[in-house]
Chain A
Amino acid sequence: MGEQKIAEDNVLAIRDLAVEFKTDIGMTYAVRDVSFSVPRGKVTAVVGESGSGKSVTANCIMRLIQPPGKIVSGSIDFSPTRTDGYDIVSLSNKDPRLFDLRGDLMSMVFQEPMTALSPVYTVGNQVAEAILCHRDVSEAEAWQEAVDMLTRVGIDDVSRRIHQYPFEFSGGMRQRVVIAMALVCNPELLICDEPTTALDVTIQAEILTLIRDLQQELKNSVLFITHDLGVVAQLADQVVVMYQGRVLEIGTVRQVLKDPLHPYTRGLLAAIPGLAQKGERLETISSVVGDADLETPYPLTQMADGRQVSLSPDLLREAGHE
């Protein structure tokens, strides 16, 4: 059984995940040899630039990859506390466990709050639906739970607002609705796929605070996908750095942000504009590491301090690995 390999404290263990997209010019790998774990009750951040495979990885976890995309190999071992664990990749498309998983055991907050809700159903209908899909309750009870959850995510005057349509909500409010919808069944794993990217800065801060507070309250595990290292510093316990569909570095937030081992991570950190470099040119990644260095994949190596990094043998030796 696959789940026996997972250490007790991980809610999710991804191993050697590879995803291919069929294009006109042949198969393209979106994700290759991705392996990392999500510790239970903690916030894991996945950082990387656009196209690094962060979102594809997240979609794989909920089996939301649609053709032309396809998971070609690997396993995603899920070990919830409420039920027995299983490998998500091996589930068939019609497996009832897949529908229990989606929305109940784990759920997802998406990037685009403006389009993440259907325009023709009320907010209440769409939040209550999440409950009705998974709980054997009456419509009225589901709506009451929806009211409670919407109040909890900070929507005022819920008894009136619940009968309104998504277009009557602002972007920030819609994202609160989406968060309420994701949390209403109290999932063990919450995946946030750049939930603040489409929002303006002040609303971003509010939404991040909301996600952090709810995580501390509900004690669920969070996989937070972002390209914003500031967000990582604010929220995450563990960080996974991805580039071109591969994992380059995994470590605690302190290890990765204070003392990055991989040149790419160093480049990422150097590319953050700061007040100190006012007037100077910003660092760009390709000037820090040649792309050639990243073309050749190196396996993730376990370091003495618990973190993992993918480096060439030379750089590994430099980093103090025997």
Chain B
Amino acid sequence: MLEIPLGSKSGIESCMNSYITRRLLGMVPTLILISMIIFVVIQLPPGDIVTSTLDRMQAQGVEVSAEQIQNLRAQYNLDQPMVLQYLSWIGNFVTGDMGYSYLFSRPVNELVWERLGYTLLITVSALLFTWAVAVPAGVYSAVRQYSVGDYVLTTVMLMGLATPSFLLALVAMYIGYEWFGISIGGLFSPEYRDVPWSLARVGDFLSHLWIPMVVVGLGGTASTMRILRANLLDELNKPYVVTARAKGVKPIKLLIKYPLRIAINPFISTIGLLLPALISGEAIVSIVLGLPTTGPALIEALINQDMYLAGSFLMLLSILTVVGMLLSDLLLAWADPRIRYE
């Protein structure tokens, strides 16, 4: 039994710290195992980066000699045993060097950080969009259950849920181009694509950001709204709400402080699950919209068996997943004292 003096802040804090340390240490074996699986899985399909390069070259009619092939293999360390290849990859990864992408002919580090920034922006803005729409809609639907507004909102949301996001992306691009004159695809207009950051470039970026924000955000809106509605309906008539009402708390404050505060709890923990989405999220939408995010790069890397790029992406994905899980648990403990004290 843990001897925690009840209500003592420092007791809780030290307990929390040891909990976090334990969780972080527990991640190490998990990640080692995952790294091995990633390496093996990427090597599993027949061929490697050299064969896919050769295929492309031969398709273009370029003749390649056996000697050239051998040189390519040596250049990429592909002639070494698997175990050595794995160790050199993971060894460099741990020191922060993610290797070199054959496909993009650039260091993986550069590629990842550049794309991660844009992905972070799009993911966070999409999440804010989702919540800004889903929370008021969910609250309205629950408070006015079975009203006309509830049915209308539910219908619209279910239609949104049923529409594939790539289709929505195409429609949004059309609307953006026809009505607002925004160039199709990407995050910048052509004239701003390769110039240094300036106020005008930021403005151009923001005017492009809303399409991916809405398209990616709408996907989660329907489910968030329906879950919030159900959670809130469960809480609305709980005795503690009646107690608070009998105390004289005004309706709006009552709704927010009591039932909504509890109904929103499960969503707080989903913030942690956003981290893996930074790597894998919405690849298809990003391809359709031509976004310079991580999703399309990951797919390209996997298709071409670009070992370092694909491996690094997947490894980052795994790290972000386990860290995100911990973050979720911590957020939940922060939000709900019942979990904190268990």
Residues of chain A lying within 8 A (CB to CB) of residue B50: none
Q: Which of B204-225 contact A (CB under 8 A)?
A: none
A66 B237 Cβ-Cβ under 8 A: yes
A118 with B244, Cβ < 8 A, contacts A112-B239, A163-B7 known: yes
The CA-CA distance from A110 to B338 in the complex, in Å, is 22
The answer to whether B336 has its CB under 8 Å from any CB of chain A is yes
Question: Which of B238, B248, B249, B258 gathers most chain A CB within 10 Å?
Answer: B248
Q: Which of A153-177 contact B (CB under 8 A)?
A: 160-161, 163-165, 167-168
Residues of chain B lying within 8 A (CB to CB) of residue A116: 239-240, 242-243
Question: Which of B7, B237, B240 gathers most chain A CB within 10 Å?
Answer: B240
The CA-CA distance from A66 to B241 in the complex, in Å, is 12
A160 with B338, Cβ < 8 A, contacts A108-B246, A110-B242, A115-B239 known: no
Q: Which of A72-108 contact B (CB under 8 A)?
A: 99-104, 107-108
What is the interface size of chain A, counting residues whose CB is below 8 A from a CB of the partner?
Answer: 35
The answer to whether A129 has its CB under 8 Å from any CB of chain B is yes
Residues of chain B lying within 8 A (CB to CB) of residue A168: 6-7, 341
The answer to whether A117 has its CB under 8 Å from any CB of chain B is yes
A120 with B247, Cβ < 8 A, contacts A115-B238, A163-B7, A164-B7 known: no
The CA-CA distance from A64 to B261 in the complex, in Å, is 21
Question: Interface size for chain B: under 10, 10 to 19, 20 to 34, or 35 or more residues?
Answer: 20 to 34
A-B interface contact total, Cβ < 8 Å: 83
The answer to whether B96 has its CB under 8 Å from any CB of chain A is no
A62 with B337, Cβ < 8 A, contacts A120-B261, A168-B6 known: no
Q: Which of A91-143 contact B (CB under 8 A)?
A: 99-104, 107-108, 110-112, 115-121, 126, 129-130, 133-134
Among residues of A, the one whose C-beta sits closest to the C-beta of B244 is A118
B7 A110 Cβ-Cβ under 8 A: no
Residues of chain B lying within 8 A (CB to CB) of residue A134: 248
Among residues of B, the one whose C-beta sits closest to the C-beta of A112 is B239
B248 A130 Cβ-Cβ under 8 A: yes
Among residues of B, the one whose C-beta sits closest to the C-beta of A102 is B248
The answer to whether A223 has its CB under 8 Å from any CB of chain B is no
A120 B248 Cβ-Cβ under 8 A: no
Partner of B239, one of A62, A110, A129, A130: A110
Per-position contact with B for A10-36: 1 when CB-CB < 8 Å, else 0? Answer: 000000000000000000000000000
The answer to whether A225 has its CB under 8 Å from any CB of chain B is no
A165 B250 Cβ-Cβ under 8 A: no
Question: Which of B238, B239, B247 gathers most chain A CB within 10 Å?
Answer: B247
Q: Which of B236-275 contact A (CB under 8 A)?
A: 237-240, 242-250, 257-258, 261-262
The answer to whether A178 has its CB under 8 Å from any CB of chain B is yes
The CA-CA distance from A32 to B341 in the complex, in Å, is 48
The CA-CA distance from A99 to B245 in the complex, in Å, is 9
The answer to whether A71 has its CB under 8 Å from any CB of chain B is no
Per-position contact with A for B312-342: 1 when CB-CB < 8 Å, else 0? Answer: 0000000000000000000000011110010
Residues of chain A lying within 8 A (CB to CB) of residue B250: 99, 133
A181 with B242, Cβ < 8 A, contacts A119-B262, A167-B338 known: no
Partner of B337, one of A100, A119, A126, A133: A119
Q: How far is the CB of B224 from chain A (nearest CB, A)?
A: 21
Q: How far is the CB of A64 from chain B (nearest CB, A)?
A: 6
A133 B341 Cβ-Cβ under 8 A: no
Q: How far is the CB of A284 from chain B (nearest CB, A)?
A: 31
The CA-CA distance from A130 to B243 in the complex, in Å, is 10
B247 A103 Cβ-Cβ under 8 A: yes
A103 with B261, Cβ < 8 A, contacts A110-B239, A116-B240, A120-B337 known: no
17 A-B pairs within 8 Å (CB atoms) are namely A103-B248, A107-B247, A110-B246, A115-B238, A115-B239, A116-B242, A117-B243, A118-B257, A120-B335, A120-B336, A120-B338, A121-B257, A129-B244, A163-B7, A164-B6, A165-B337, A165-B341
A residues near B (Cβ < 8 Å) are: 62, 64, 66, 99-104, 107-108, 110-112, 115-121, 126, 129-130, 133-134, 160-161, 163-165, 167-168, 178, 181
A-B interface, 10 closest residue pairs, ranked by CB to CB distance from nearest: A103-B248, A102-B248, A103-B247, A115-B239, A133-B248, A118-B240, A108-B246, A116-B243, A165-B337, A130-B247
